Amino acid sequence: MASGGGPPSSPDDWETSPIGNTFSSPGGRGRPKRGRRSSYATPPPAQSDSRFATPGTTPPSSGAANTRRGRGRRSSANPTGVATPSSTDDAQPSSEAGDADEDEAPPMYVWGTNISVQDVNAAILRFLRHFREKPQQIEGKYMMAINHVIEVEGDSLDVDAHDVFDYDTDLYLKMVRYPLEVLAIFDIVLMDMVSRINPLFEKHIQARIFNLKSSTSMRNLNPSDVEKMISLKGMIIRCSSIIPEIREAVFRCLVCGYCCEPIVVDRGRINEPTVCGKPECLSRNSMTLVHNRCRFADKQVVKLQETPDEIPEGGTPHTVSLLMHDKLVDTGKPGDRVEVTGIYRAMSVRIGQTQRTVKSIFKTYIDCLHVKKTDKSRVDVEDPMETENGVTAKDSEPVIDFEDKVEQLKELSRKPDIYERLTRSLAPNIWELDDVKKGLLCQLFGGSALKMPSGASFRGDINILLVGDPGTSKSQLLQYIHKLSPRGIYTSGRGSSAVGLTAYVAKDPETGETVLESGALVLSDRGICCIDEFDKMSDNARSMLHEVMEQQTVSIAKAGIIASLNARTSVLACANPIGSRYNPRLSVIDNIHLPPTLLSRFDLIYLILDKADEQTDRRLAKHIVALHFEDPENSEQDVIDLPTLTAYVSYARKNIHPKLSDEAAEELTRGYVEMRRRGSFPGISKKVITATPRQLESLIRLSEALARIRFSEWVEKGDVTEAIRLLEVAMQQSATDHSTGTIDMDLITTGVSASERMRRENLVSTVRSIIMEKMQLGGPSIRLLELLEELKKQSPGEVHLNDLRNALATLSMEGFVAVHGDSVKRV
């Protein structure tokens, strides 16, 4: 008697549909009022006039709701709880005897609570009328929203729970604790207001609450949350097909054609009339369902799964079922991350149709009130490369997923040593190489891409090449960046093809060694493509990279169709020097055996040379020993952990789009001019080009990335200075002409330094004079080795056969000599 709760008492209500019972008609509101304490143990008693499904509850349906409650102990649990003055035409008190006492006695309380219906009603009214976001607003936020809803004939009003909280904390708490009751009142108030503004407006407007103060994690849902309003985040993994749910059924007599009044679904069942309602007919069992006159509502069951970041180690993700109604149906598709606000419900499961015992198990689900799509937690995918993208990103809803996090990140970004700190946090296990790490950091953040109206575009991606001795943790750096970067791809240059998903297992016929020629270079659009063993990449695949690195597209020719795909990717490659160790006497080109055209497309080229340094060796040894024998916990401090770092990078890439300040632009010009000027030494006639326009572009990208690191919208002078420094460090290592010790971009662009060029020219002229001297026009040919002997006599220093060949090639191009195999002939 004391409760509307408890398990269903008759076999027919076991299959009640568990849709929400936040009825807007007062008749339907009885149960929660009485059965507060244990109501969650009851399958929700009805679905016919759920607010989710039936807009515009009409008196007939509320009448039906009343009738069906007139059974057993429920009847008394059925006071017209929300017979508020405002709900004029719906507030017909039910005729049930048990209600009388409560109907008369104001104030009314929701059973088992101290919630007074009138108070809540008034509070909601106050909130809707008076809430303003800013005091100077003339009309309340929600009054405007209501008017808007009426105008567009919408059927729901989104209510930000934060607003409720700010305006009336008490109301908020009540709403979260007793959502069924409070929302029902909310709806009634809304309807009332709407009918006052526009009496002709017939649609039923529902309040959809969203943005609760606190959101629960799926893992922490427990029995005490049942029947509470909760909000949680997750990923949709499965959507059921849309289930049409019958709301009102109409039957027609097969004998006389009489149609009965619409019969409202009562607890999942339709009481099919057994006798024709027409007094003249009264045929038995003649009524048949008329499908197209019935009313159906959409319903969908959606499975929501925990997002990966909430799963503790060694756990599997939890799932929860969501019940969506009407407009919410199909709001998300599998794979979407959403934040859901709804009421947590439990439904008991029956053992079988014929058995009376209820299985003691409850199935839980969430009755959805509001679904909000959240952005991906790794904000990487929509990296706004194109301006139009950037705009839409700003228009879309804010990243609520991240609000707290963003605050943290911003805080972090304000730290003065953020640059250093990030550098330190990048691959903390690899020491030194600080400048390399800084370069990598810039690559992670990236510059801004620019698309000119003319169609020309400037990439924002920074490409980096690491060249170095084996065992200098190049690969580890690559692996680390790969792990950190969004959509990163790690591949080994060995046997990579540019596109395609397949791979080939190759077996060395002699040794039996197996190699996987991985299908690797499935390009990582908007990510970082890490290519290990770049030098071992096939020419074919490499030529593809030319296009990728400058045009940012990749062309595939298949079956006569040439497709151009976007490949807006940064390339991080590492290569071993030819002959396994770097030969400082040779140029970079000679060392890595890469075409200069490709090389020049790298913004930064770092040489990681393994200098035999006992100090470093010892440190490495110490580290490894510590790794194996000591507690590694205390080894690293003050570094930013990987998830934060990822979030930081993602956030910056997505939200920060630095522009050049005038000061910075000036500094750039100055720096660039300076770099170029450095090429011409006073007193030296030869011209060494130190910097090229490509380097200027690199400088811009680098400074933009540096500004991003600070979360700054403006590139400042300091950024440019640092960018220049980074570029110089990289160039000093790679573009140093080892014979003169100066930076020479020609080394990169042609592979030949200026002094080398000079030497070659000298050689050519020497050879020319020798040939002029020794040989007759059209005379007998001379052997290459003899020529070399002669050459060695004349010119000081070492002359290789190769050099001679080169010189001869030049001469033969001039038409001065003809070279056939080993013999040279003057022509």
If the CB atoms of residues 257 and 308 are measured against other proteins, the closer one turns out to be: 308
* Smallest gap from residue 371 Cβ to other proteins (A): 17
* Smallest gap from residue 361 Cβ to other proteins (A): 5
Strand partners, 345: 365
Give the span between the Cα atoms of 142 and 154, in whole angstroms: 14
If the CB atoms of residues 203 and 318 are measured against other proteins, the closer one turns out to be: 318
3-state secondary structure of 349: strand
The HSE-up count of residue 684 (CA atoms within 13 Å, CB side) is 14
| 702-741: burial string, b at 16+ Cβ within 10 Å, e else | bbbbbbbbbbbeebbbbbbbbbbebbbbbbebbbbbbebe
Return the structure tokens found at 630.
């000591």
* Smallest gap from residue 483 Cβ to other proteins (A): 7
What phi and psi, each to the nearest 5 degrees, are found at residue 160? -80, 120
* Smallest gap from residue 441 Cβ to other proteins (A): 18
Give the span between the Cα atoms of 731 and 240, in whole angstroms: 59
Return the structure tokens found at 663.
């000061």
If the CB atoms of residues 454 and 502 are measured against other proteins, the closer one turns out to be: 502
| 576-613: burial string, b at 16+ Cβ within 10 Å, e else | bbbeeebeeeebbbebbebebebbbbbbbbbbbeeeee
* Smallest gap from residue 52 Cβ to other proteins (A): 13
Q: Which helix (H) or strand (E) holds 343?
A: strand 337-350
- Nearest residue to 430 (alpha-carbon basis) of 155, 582, 636: 636
* Smallest gap from residue 250 Cβ to other proteins (A): 21
* Smallest gap from residue 30 Cβ to other proteins (A): 18
Q: Is 448 exposed, middle or buried (0-12, 13-18, 19+ CB in 10 A)?
A: buried
145 CB-near residues (< 8 Å, 6+ apart): 157, 158
* Smallest gap from residue 84 Cβ to other proteins (A): 30
If the CB atoms of residues 199 and 471 are measured against other proteins, the closer one turns out to be: 471
Q: Which helix (H) or strand (E) holds 157?
A: strand 156-160
If the CB atoms of residues 334 and 584 are measured against other proteins, the closer one turns out to be: 334
Q: Which helix (H) or strand (E) holds 565?
A: strand 561-566
* Smallest gap from residue 8 Cβ to other proteins (A): 7
Q: Are strands 156-160 and 206-210 parallel, antiparallel or unpaired?
A: parallel
First to last CA, the chain: 121
* Smallest gap from residue 553 Cβ to other proteins (A): 23
Give the span between the Cα atoms of 335 and 381, in whole angstroms: 14
If the CB atoms of residues 518 and 755 are measured against other proteins, the closer one turns out to be: 518
